Structure formats: structure tokens, C-alpha cells
């Protein structure tokens, strides 16, 4: 700490909204709009304020330097919350996202290696095949004239991609009629979000219908993952000398090393983590991009011109090299992720008492970090609330300034930066290029009905889009 503890403001003396005894501000919060309420309060109470959710004080920070410090000083100075860890353990999901310390380091190495860029180059043909299936699904919807529930279709796409890349399984939920694994995965994030923010651990005493639905969903996911683990074991037993081909094989090979400390539970937890971490995040990011395309047809036209100039007519993106030659599309996606990051806030706790913006934050206090708030302030990005992809490609002398990339953190930051980032960006480019190349789109719901809804990740609730096959010419 830089100042003596007595000179520092105490947490309870920080400004913040008034609450009631015991419940604090709970009666003023809706969990699905938590980020929006906290952002409004940040405007009113400043870069560091206090709220009570239930009896416990929580610090809320939107100062970009303080946020950077927290992200970078993990895992030794800060950690994800103990509540998140205990909830994840109960669900059998203490994989790399929820692990801490040495456990985290071990798991992180394996996950990062399985998702690295070299793997992506080899994987690209399979990704292109899955994108072609999505195109086919959308062509059928276009021919029927049905509005497309974008998030739901995109989650089929992202789960198919993760299962193929990480588990070596062609799940093909895009071409499977009826119920698919997504209906179980869908139950996890909303409950995880509610339980990590709930002031009382009520579900340990009584179970609501949604808690019982979650138990059933987790059981179904365990069965599904169990099948994939068995299949990977058989593949490895049949050819024990070859290099692991995917994440499951890699983590099982590591677990087989004496003293690895990796248990069967870790294998399950990480398989479940990857399925969940790669599903909503990427699908919702693409969905937000499609929403902005409907709001700005002229930008859709510009993205299409760029895609047409890089990809042969009627073809799809053919490889990483082409996917990397779409600067306007990338700028468009950056702007979408700046204004609609699917993780607009994160939570951490300090491992020791710490000083932050002149305040003493006691060890173990949850600190909510408002990442989106910082990235939309005029002091970091000129005219920060305005959607303007140009700012990402204009040369520094002509672009609107300030343009402070350090506060643009859609994938988090520091040692726990999202390891799926390169895969996610490739998925986003591939789907949006396919969309531009083959479809015209218009909104099927009025824009004011598309709302931010936080359920661990932030999705565009109510978004439906009408697709038409692209007119020739
Ligand atoms: C647009 C899509 C995505 C976004 C916006 C996103 C965002 C994030 C964020 C904000 C974090 C927390 C980082 C931090 O604590 O600093 C995270 C962690 C993580 N993400 Fe992603 N993610 C995306 C896609 C993916 C994909 C496709 C995968 C893998 C299939 C993935 C796997 C993970 C994992 C395993 C972690 C935990 C890392 C750790 O704790 O060390 N993510 N992601």
C-alpha cells in the first residue's frame, strides 16, 4: 500500500446509493440489468463507489488505471471471487475460468496450447465447413421468409466449432432438427450469474424450479462430455505415440503424467468450461454485429464491398490469410465490442488489504469493474457513445482523438486474458464475411425492442433479423 492505512478513506465512507438495512440496494437492482444500473451510478458517484448487496459492502470501480492494475496483478494480488469458485465447484465446473493459484497455472497452459494460432490454421477448413452449414440454415430460413432468431442459430454454430476444435467431435447441431445440447448449456449462465451475485446462498437450503432445471441440465452435459472423453480415450489408446490432436487429448495426456495433479474432475470441468466460455460470448458478439448492420445499412454496404474485393464471387473465406485481410470488418467488430462488450463488467477480490484511489479496500472485498463504462467515456474515446468504426482505421493524425486503446478490453486483460480470443475473432470474421457475401438483412423487430440483457454475458434480447438471399449484381 502506498499510504498509511489511517490516511485512507474507509470503504464504508465512500459515496454510493443509499440502501436498506440487511438488503442494501438489492431492492433497486435487477440482475439482468445490473451493469446498466452500476454504470448510471458510476456517472453519479464517481470512479470508485460503494454499494451494499445484502449485508456485504462491494466496491465498484470504473477508473481505467485501477481496472488495469487489478487485471494485471492476477493471480498473485487479486483473484476471481471466492463465491464464483464455490458456485463453480458445486456445478462441477472448477476449470481454468474458476481455478486459482497453481491449479490455474497448470490448467491455463493446457487450454492456451490447445487454442493457439497454429492450431487455428490447421482447423480452418473445418471452421469453413461449419460456416457453410450455417449459411445453408439461413438460406432455408430466407426461402421460407422466416425471421431468424440470430442468437440461437449462432450458438449452434459456436458449439459446433468448440466441439470440433476442442473435442474432435462433429456435433453438427446446425443440421440437427429438434433439441440439441445448447438447451442444457442455456440453463447454466443465467443461474451462474444469479448465484454469483446473490447475497444469500439460498439454493443450499431450498431449490427453486430453475435450480432443479439446472441440476438436470448439468447431468445431461456431464453425460455428453463423458461420451466425448471416452471417445478421446479410445482414440489415444488406438495410437498411443501420436501427438494429441485436440484439447481433450492434450489434457488427458497431461493427466497421465505422474504428479500432474490433473484429475478426471479437472478434465470434465475444463471441457464444460470451454463449451460454455466459447458459446454465448462469440455468438452474442456476432449477434450484436448483425444488429449494428441493421442499424447502419451503409456500413453493411462498405463491409460487403471489402469482402467482395478479397473473396472470389460466390465463394467463402478460404483461409486465415484472407480472413486477416478485412480491415474495415475488423474495425466494425472492434466498435461493436467497444459499445456492446459481451462481458461489460468483471468481478475480483484482493488477496490482501489494498489501496485504490485513496481508499482502503479490505482483503476479500468484491470489486466490480465496469469495463464498458471506461471505454465509452469521451476522455478515452472521442465522442465515446457514438458508433464509428472509422476511428479504428483512420491514421492517427486524422482520426478523432483521444483514442485510448488501453481501455478497450473486451477480452479482459493481464495473465487471464481470454485464451479463446484468436478463435473467437476468426469465427466472427468468417460468419460476418459469409453474411455479407450471401445475404441482405433487415431488422425483424423494432430497434427499441432489442435490449441489453445480462445473464453472465450480455446478449441482445429480442433480436430477430430477416435475411434475404443476396440479389445478383
Ligand atoms: C467474442 C468472444 C469472446 C469474448 C468477448 C470473451 C471474453 C472473455 C473475457 C472477458 C474473459 C475474462 C478475462 C479476464 O479475466 O481478464 C474470458 C476468459 C476466458 N475465455 Fe473467453 N471470450 C470469448 C470467446 C472465447 C472462446 C471462443 C473460448 C474458447 C473456446 C474462450 C475461453 C475462455 C476461457 C477458458 C477463459 C478463462 C481464462 C482464465 O481464467 O485464465 N473464450 N473470455
pLDDT tens for each residue of 265-306: 889 999 989 989 999 999 999 999 999 999 999 999 999 999
Nearest atom within ligand 1 for CA of residue 414? 16
Is residue 205 scored above 70 in pLDDT?
yes
What is the average pLDDT across 111-134?
Answer: 88
Report pLDDT for 71.
98
Report pLDDT for 1.
58
Nearest atom within ligand 1 for CA of residue 343? 10
Is residue 322 scored above 70 in pLDDT?
no
Is residue 58 scored above 60 in pLDDT?
yes
Which of the 8 DSSP states describes residue 54?
Answer: T
Is residue 2 scored above 60 in pLDDT?
no
The Cβ-side half-sphere exposure at 433, using a 13 Å CA radius, reads 33
Cα–Cα distance list, 18 to 13, 21, 24 (Å): 12, 10, 7
Q: Could you give the angle at the alpha carbon of 246 between the alpha carbons of 244 and 249, nearest 5°?
A: 55
What is the rounded distance in angstroms from the CA atom of residue 69 to the CA atom of residue 61?
12
Contact indicator for 443, 294 with CB cutoff of 8 Å: yes
What is the average pLDDT across 349-353?
Answer: 97
pLDDT in tens, 387-424: 999 999 999 889 889 999 999 999 999 999 999 999 99
Share of the chain above pLDDT 90, in %: 67
Residue 61: CB within 6 Å of ligand 1?
A: no
Nearest atom within ligand 1 for CA of residue 165? 30
What is the average pLDDT across 126-135?
Answer: 95
Report pLDDT for 173.
94
Residue 321's pLDDT band (boundaries 50, 70, 90)? Answer: low
Which of the 8 DSSP states describes residue 195?
Answer: H
Residue 457, beta-bridge partner list: 455
The CATH code that applies to domain 92-296+411-473 is 1.10.630.10
DSSP string, 221-252: HHHHHHHHHHHHHHHHHHSTTSPP-SHHHHHH
The pTM of the full predicted model, rounded to 2 decimals, is: 0.95
Report pLDDT for 183.
84
Cα–Cα distance list, 53 to 23, 78, 149, 439 (Å): 6, 21, 35, 46
Looking at per-residue confidence, does 193 or 151 come out higher?
Answer: 151
Residue 273: CB within 6 Å of ligand 1?
A: yes
Residue 416: CB within 6 Å of ligand 1?
A: yes
Report pLDDT for 315.
61
Report pLDDT for 158.
96
What is the average pLDDT across 150-166?
Answer: 94
Query: In which residue are the cell numbers 447475497 written?
Result: 199
User: Whose CA is closest to 137, among 171, 162, 172?
Assistant: 172
Q: Could you give the angle at the alpha carbon of 379 between the alpha carbons of 375 and 383, nearest 5°?
A: 75
Report pLDDT for 155.
94
What is the rounded distance in angstroms from the CA atom of residue 206 to the CA atom of residue 210?
11
Dihedrals φ, ψ of 455, to 5°?
Answer: -135, 65
| CA-closest residue to ligand 1 atom 18 | 418
Report pLDDT for 261.
81
Pocket test residue of 420, 431, 432 for ligand 1, highest count of atoms within 8 A of CB? 420
| CA-closest residue to ligand 1 atom 42 | 420
Residue 270: CB within 6 Å of ligand 1?
A: no
Report pLDDT for 255.
86
Q: How far is the CA of 246 from the centre of ligand 1 (A)?
A: 18
Is residue 320 scored above 70 in pLDDT?
no
| CA-closest residue to ligand 1 atom 31 | 420
Residue 410: CB within 6 Å of ligand 1?
A: yes
Average predicted confidence (pLDDT) for the chain? 91
Dihedrals φ, ψ of 367, to 5°?
Answer: -120, 115
What is the average pLDDT across 155-183?
Answer: 89
Looking at per-residue confidence, does 34 or 324 come out higher?
Answer: 34
Is residue 319 scored above 70 in pLDDT?
no
Residue 213's pLDDT band (boundaries 50, 70, 90)? Answer: very high
Is residue 243 scored above 90 in pLDDT?
no
Instruction: Of 243-252, 350-359, 450-459, give the lowest mean pLDDT range.
Output: 243-252
Residue 423: CB within 6 Å of ligand 1?
A: yes
What is the average pLDDT across 65-74?
Answer: 97
Cell (9 digits) for 105: 497455472
| CA-closest residue to ligand 1 atom 11 | 418
Report pLDDT for 257.
82
Is residue 3 scored above 60 in pLDDT?
no
Report pLDDT for 25.
86
Amino acid at each position: 500500500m502506498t499510504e498509511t492505512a489511517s490516511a485512507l478513506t474507509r470503504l464504508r465512507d465512500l459515496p454510493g446509493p443509499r440502501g436498506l438495512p440487511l438488503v442494501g440496494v438489492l431492492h433497486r437492482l435487477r440482475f439482468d440489468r445490473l451493469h446498466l444500473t452500476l454504470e448510471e451510478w458510476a456517472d453519479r458517484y464517481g470512479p470508485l463507489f460503494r454499494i451494499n448487496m445484502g449485508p456485504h459492502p462491494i466496491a465498484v470501480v470504473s477508473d481505467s488505471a485501477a481496472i488495469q492494475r487489478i487485471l494485471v496483478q492476477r493471480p498473485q494480488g487479486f483473484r476471481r471471487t471466492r463465491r464464483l469458485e464455490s458456485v463453480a465447484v458445486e456445478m462441477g465446473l472448477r476449470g481454468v475460468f474458476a481455478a486459482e493459484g497453481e491449479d490455474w497455472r497448470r490448467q491455463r497452459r493446457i487450454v492456451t496450447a490447445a487454442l493457439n494460432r497454429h492450431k487455428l490454421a490447421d482447423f480452418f477448413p473445418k471452421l469453413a465447413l461449419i460456416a457453410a452449414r450455417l449459411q445453408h440454415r439461413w438460406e432455408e430460413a430466407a426461402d421460407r421468409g422466416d425471421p431468424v432468431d440470430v442468437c440461437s442459430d449462432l450458438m449452434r454454430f459456436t458449439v459446433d466449432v468448440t466441439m470440433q476444435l476442442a473435442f474432435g467431435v462433429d456435433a453438427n447441431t446446425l443440421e440437427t432438427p429438434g433439441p440439441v445440447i445448447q438447451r442444457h448449456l442455456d440453463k447454466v449462465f443465467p443461474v451462474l450469474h444469479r448465484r454469483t451475485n446473490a447475497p444469500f446462498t439460498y439454493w443450499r437450503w431450498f431449490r427453486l424450479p430453475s435450480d432443479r432445471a439446472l441440476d438436470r441440465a448439468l447431468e445431461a452435459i456431464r453425460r455428453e462430455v463423458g461420451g466425448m472423453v471416452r471417445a478421446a480415450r479410445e482414440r489415444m489408446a488406438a495410437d498411443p505415440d501420436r501427438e494429441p490432436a485436440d484439447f481433450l487429448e492434450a489434457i488427458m495426456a497431461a493427466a497421465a503424467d505422474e504428479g500432474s495433479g490433473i484429475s478426471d474432475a479437472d478434465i470434465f470441468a475444463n471441457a464444460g468450461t470451454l463449451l460454455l466460455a466459447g458459446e454465448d460470448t462469440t455468438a452474442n458478439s456476432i449477434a450484436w454485429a448483425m444488429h449494428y448492420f441493421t442499424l447502419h445499412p451503409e456500413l453493411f454496404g462498405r463491409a460487403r464491398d471489402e469482402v467482395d474485393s478479397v473473396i472470389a464471387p460466390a465463394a467463402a473465406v478460404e483461409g486465415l490469410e484472407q480472413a486477416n485481410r478485412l480491415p474495415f470488418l475488423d474495425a466494425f467488430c472492434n466498435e461493436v465490442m467497444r459499445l456492446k462488450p459481451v462481458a461489460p463488467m468483471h468481478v475480483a477480490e484482493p488477496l490482501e488489504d489494498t489501496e485504490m484511489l485513496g481508499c482502503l479496500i479490505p482483503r476479500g472485498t468484491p470489486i466490480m469493474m465496469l469495463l464498458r463504462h471506461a471505454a465509452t467515456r469521451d476522455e478515452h474515446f472521442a465522442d465515446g457513445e457514438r458508433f464509428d468504426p472509422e476511428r479504428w482505421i483512420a491514421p492517427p493524425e486524422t482520426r478523432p482523438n483521444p483514442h485510448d486503446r488501453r481501455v478497450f478490453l473486451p477480452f479482459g486483460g493481464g495473465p487471464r486474458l481470454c485464451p479463446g480470443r484468436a478463435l473467437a475473432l476468426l469465427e466472427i470474421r468468417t460468419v460476418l464475411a459469409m453474411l455479407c457475401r450471401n445475404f441482405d438483412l433487415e431488422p425483424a423487430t423494432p430497434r427499441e425492442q432489442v435490449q441489453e440483457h445480462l445473464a453472465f454475458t450480455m446478449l441482445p434480447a429480442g433480436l430477430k433479423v430477416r435475411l434475404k438471399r443476396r440479389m445478383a449484381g
